[in-house]
Structure 1
C-alpha cells in the first residue's frame, strides 16, 4: 500500500509539473476569464439598470395633516434632488406599529421598504436594517422640510429581524448556487482526464509506465494530478473574480449566509468539488481505458456527460425536500452526493454528516478506479483472466 501511494505521488508530481509549466496551461487559464469579465460587466450594468428603475416605497402612517405636509415636502425636495433620489410615499390607513411584522404582506405587487409612523416631530421608521440605513437620512430630511424649522428631527428606528421563512429562502438560493457552481466546474475540468490518458496511450508512454509502476498507482496519480491542476485554475479564476468584484464594489452583506457559515461552506465547496471531480474523473479513466482515439473518447464520454447532467438535475430538484426519501437517495447515490451535500451545508448546520459523506464518496471513488484499472488491463495491456483464456486458446489451436 505504501509503495502504491509513493508511486502514485511520483506520477502525480510528474503530470502536475508537466501540465502547470506548459504553454497551453496559460491559455487554459485565460479561457474562463473572458466569461467572468462579461458576467461582471453585465452584473454592473444590471445593477445600474436596477437602480434606475427601482423606486422604493415608504409607507406613511401619520395623521392626515402631517401626511399632506410630508408629501408636499417630498415634492419640494424632488425639484432639487430629483424624484429618483427620494423614496415614493404611500399612505397606510388603520396602521399601528404592532403590525410591522406583516410589512411584506401590505402590498403583494410592490413591497414596502419601510414604514414611517408616529409624528413628524418624533417619527419612527420601521423596516429591515439595510433599508433603515439606506433611507433614514432622507426620510429625516423630508420630515424636517415638512416642519419648516431649523431644529433637527430625532428619528427612532425599529428593526424587523429576518423571519424564519425568508432565512430559509435565502439559504435555498445559496444551496442552488453552490450546486450550479459545482456542476459547471466539474463538467468543464473533468474532461481533461480523458485527453491526457488517450494521448499517453497513443504515444505508448502508458505502457512504459505500466511496466515499472502498478496500474493502480498510475491511475491514482493521474487523477490527483488533474485535480491539482483544476484547483490551481479555480484559485486563479476565483481570485481574479473576487478582485474585480472588490474593485467594482458591491453589497457583500446582501449575500445569503449558509447555515454552516461562509468559511466552512467555502471549505466544503472545495472538498465536494474535489470528490465530484474524482468520481467523474475516475469514471472517465475507465472510458479512456476502452478508447483508442479522440473520436472514440468523444463518443463514449457523451453518455457520461448527459448522465451527469441528469444526476445534477436530480440533486437540484431534491434540494427543497430535506429529509424526504428522494433527498436521502440523492445524498447516498455517490454521483449526486456532492451536490446534495453542499445543499445540506447551506440549509443545515450539523457538521458530522459531511465527514461521513466524504468518506463514502472516497470509498466509491477507489472502487471505480479499481474497475477502470481492470478495464485498462484487459483492453490495453491484454492481461487478466480474459486475456489468459484467449492466449491459451491460441496456443491450443495454433492461431
Structure 2
C-alpha cells in the first residue's frame, strides 16, 4: 500500500506540473471568465435604460405637515436637478413603536427602500444598511435643507437654518433570518458547484484518451501499479481544479471590491467562513465522486468520438442531479429534498443549499461522512474497471479458465 501511495504521488506531481506550468493552463483559466465578462459588459450597457427603475427610496416616518414640506422641497429640487438625481420618498405616518415600524419598513423590499428617516426635519435620524445610508445621505440632506429653508421663510422672523446633520444608525436590513437572501445564496452555491464540476471533472475524459492514444498509459503501467496511476491522475486533476478555483475566486473578490464596493451579498445561515469551507469540502466530494466515475468510463473508450458521445448523457445526468438537489431550496423538509440529501451524487449540491438556509452544522458532518463512504466505494469500483480496461488484466485469467474447462 505504501508503494502504491508513493507511486500515486509521483504520478500526481507529474500530471500537475505538466498541466499547471503550461500555456494551455493560462488559456484554461481565462476561458470561463470570457462569458462572465461579456455578461458584465451587457449589464453595464443596459444599466442606463433601467436607471429610473433602480433609484433608491427612503421611507420617511413623518406627520402630515412635515410630509407636505418634504414633498414640496423634493419637487422644487427635481425641477432644477432632475428627478433621477434624487431618491424617492415614501412617507409613512407614525404608528406604534418607532423601532418596530423601522424594522418593518426595512424588511419590506417591494418599494426599493434602502433606509428609513425619522425624528422630524430638525433632528433627523437615518437608519439602514451601510451601503444604503451612504447612497442616499447627501441627496436626502438637500431635500431636508430645502424643506427647512421653506419653513423658515413661511415663519415671519425665523432665522435661516443651518445645514442638516443626520444621526446615522447602521443596522441589518431586517431582524431575523432573511429567507429570500438565503434562498438566493443557496441557488448561487448550487450553480457555482455545478459550473465548476462540469468544467473540471469532464477534463479527465479528454486527458485519459490523449494518454491512451499516445501509449503513455502502457509506459506508466510498466513502471508503477495501475491503482497508483488511477489515484495519481485523480489527485492531480483535483489539485489542478483547486488551483483554478483559487485563481477565479481571488479575481472575483478583487472585481467585487474594485468595481462594486457597495454591493453586499446575502449572508448564508452558517456564515461566510463556514459556507466557504463547506463549499470547498463539497466540491472535493462532488469532484471525486464524478471524477472517479469519469476515469472508470474513460478507460472503456478508445477515441475522441466516443468521448464526445459520452459527454451528452454525462452532462444531462449532472443537470438531472442538480435539478433534484434544487428541491432543497424550495422545500427543505420534503421527501424529494431528503432523497437528494441521501443520493450520493446530489448530496453535495443539496447540502451546500442547506448551509445557506439553516445554521446547524451537525447535519453537514453526517453528510460528509456519508459522502466519504461513497467516494471510497466509487473509487474502488472505478479503479477495478480502469485496471481491467487499460491493462486487459481479465484476458489471461479468462484464457486460463477456458484451458481448465477443456482439460
TM-score, normalised via structure 2 length: 0.85
Match of 2:156 in 1: none
Match of 2:155 in 1: none
- Which range moved further: 154-163 or 39-48? 154-163
- Which range moved further: 19-28 or 255-264? 19-28
Query: Contact conserved, 1:172 with 1:346, CA < 8 A, in 2?
Result: yes
Match of 1:71 in 2: 71
Query: Contact conserved, 1:13 with 1:225, CA < 8 A, in 2?
Result: yes
Match of 2:143 in 1: 142
Tell me, what secondary structure is at the counterpart of 2:89?
A: strand
Tell me, what secondary structure is at the counterpart of 1:290?
A: coil
Match of 1:220 in 2: 231
* Separation (CA, whole Å) in 2 of partners of 1:358 and 1:162: 33
Structure 1 residues 82 and 326, CA gap change in structure 2 (3 angstroms): same
Within 5 Å, which residues of 2 pair with 1:117-196? 117-125=118-126, 130-148=131-149, 149-153=160-164, 155=166, 162-163=173-174, 167-196=178-207
Structure 1 residue 136: Cα displacement: 4.0
Q: Deviations over 1:315-351 (max 9, x none)?
A: 0122232244322222221111111111122122333
Match of 2:344 in 1: 334
Structure 1 residue 171: Cα displacement: 1.4
Match of 2:246 in 1: 235
Query: Contact conserved, 1:74 with 1:142, CA < 8 A, in 2?
Result: yes
Structure 1 residue 74: Cα displacement: 1.5
Within 5 Å, which residues of 2 pair with 1:317-356? 317-356=327-366
* Separation (CA, whole Å) in 2 of partners of 1:301 and 1:394: 40
Q: Which runs of 5+ in 1 are unaligned?
A: none
Structure 1 residue 27: Cα displacement: 2.2
Structure 1 residue 111: Cα displacement: 4.9
Match of 1:364 in 2: 374
Structure 1 residues 62 and 345, CA gap change in structure 2 (3 angstroms): closer
Structure 1 residues 342 and 298, CA gap change in structure 2 (3 angstroms): same
Match of 2:303 in 1: 293
Match of 2:326 in 1: 316
Query: Contact conserved, 2:285 with 2:348, CA < 8 A, in 1?
Result: yes
* Separation (CA, whole Å) in 2 of partners of 1:95 and 1:170: 28
- Which range moved further: 268-277 or 151-160? 151-160
Query: Contact conserved, 2:106 with 2:128, CA < 8 A, in 1?
Result: no
* Separation (CA, whole Å) in 1 of partners of 2:244 and 2:36: 13
Q: Which runs of 5+ in 2 are unaligned?
A: 150-159
Q: Deviations over 1:342-367 (max 9, x none)?
A: 11221223334333333332332232
Structure 1 residues 60 and 235, CA gap change in structure 2 (3 angstroms): closer
* Separation (CA, whole Å) in 2 of partners of 1:376 and 1:105: 56
Q: Deviations over 1:216-254 (max 9, x none)?
A: 2111110111111222222222323333333323324x2
Structure 1 residues 373 and 158, CA gap change in structure 2 (3 angstroms): closer
Match of 1:255 in 2: 265
Match of 1:12 in 2: 12
Structure 1 residue 13: Cα displacement: 0.8
Q: Aligned-pair RMSD on alpha carbons? A: 3.0
TM-score, normalised via structure 1 length: 0.86
Equivalenced residue count is: 395
* Separation (CA, whole Å) in 1 of partners of 2:23 and 2:246: 18
Match of 2:105 in 1: 103
* 2:402 counterpart of 1:393: yes
* 2:276 counterpart of 1:273: no
